[in-house]
Amino acid sequence: MQQIGLKKLSGQIVVKTGLHIGAGNDKIEIGGMDNPIIRNPLTREPYIPGSSLKGKMRSLLEWHLGKVQDNKGKPCNCGKADCPICRVFGSANNSKDSDESKESKEKHQTGPTRLIVRDAFLSAEDKKKMDDGKAIVEEKYENSINRITAWANPRPIERVVPGVKFDFELVYRIINTNDDGKTDTTNFDTVVLKALKLLKNDYLGGGGTRGNGRIDFINVKDETGTAIEL
């Protein structure tokens, strides 16, 4: 195997409806937020982890390609050379077989992970808004209603407000596996770009079925500066 090329996508993610990517609630202070968003611990700026983007892209592709039913809901981990999921997103194979066994070799035919997804940070425009004291994060209250007593159980969640933009970057490695990189080149269009298009029509983060997490990709360009339409 030999790496013979790189493809890049860069642009912005714009929040269309409130975005909640949780930071966990291991430590809750009295009167504090019990569903906070993830933030940079030094600047307190919200950001989108690369793991959240990549994980959602992978999940949507697995549903799209019918990879979910055969794996009991777990991420596809077959590691086979003809599996676009494992080839592009990686295969964390936990097989205890010897490296010399036939089964182990068959499960490690894809080579290294092709897709690298960077953390997406606040755009310069929205950093300035935050520095100027403008609100880019809101507290939204949701209620669970008891069907018999009509008693409401409110809970607040933190969300990035609509209109906020994050700068994102994807890097895609093209590996020659005795095919001059043709398979990886094809997978960039049919897997990576397809996953981004699916994500636009789905949601990112939590609460997507309750209105959260709709995003769009804007100003997307490849490594040559050519505009890419998603």
Instruction: Read off the pLDDT of residues 199-222 as tens digits, 9 standing for 90 and up.
Output: 999 999 999 999 999 999 999 999
> For residue 194, what are the β-bridge partners?
none
Q: If you average pLDDT over every residue of the chain, what do you get? A: 88
Higher-pLDDT residue of 186, 24:
186
Per-residue confidence (pLDDT) for residue 111, from 0 to 100: 81
Q: Residue 100 above 70 pLDDT?
A: no
What pLDDT shows up at residue 81?
A: 80
User: pLDDT confidence of 129, banded at 50, 70, 90?
Assistant: very high
The pLDDT value recorded for residue 71 is: 63
Q: Which of 89-98, 109-118, 194-203, 219-228 has the lowest mean pLDDT?
A: 89-98
Joined together, the tokens standing for residue 70 give: 């055969």
Within the chain, residue ranges assigned H as helices are 50-64, 84-89, 102-106, 124-131, 182-187, 194-200
Q: Where are the domains of the chain?
A: 2-47+113-222
The pLDDT > 70 percentage for the chain reads 86
Mean pLDDT lowest among 41-55, 137-151, 198-212: 137-151
Arithmetic mean of pLDDT, 114-121? 97
pLDDT > 90 in the chain, percent = 64
227 pLDDT exceeds 80? yes
Mean of the pLDDT values across residues 72-83?
Answer: 84
Which residue type is seen at 124?
A
Kindly report the length of the chain. Answer: 230
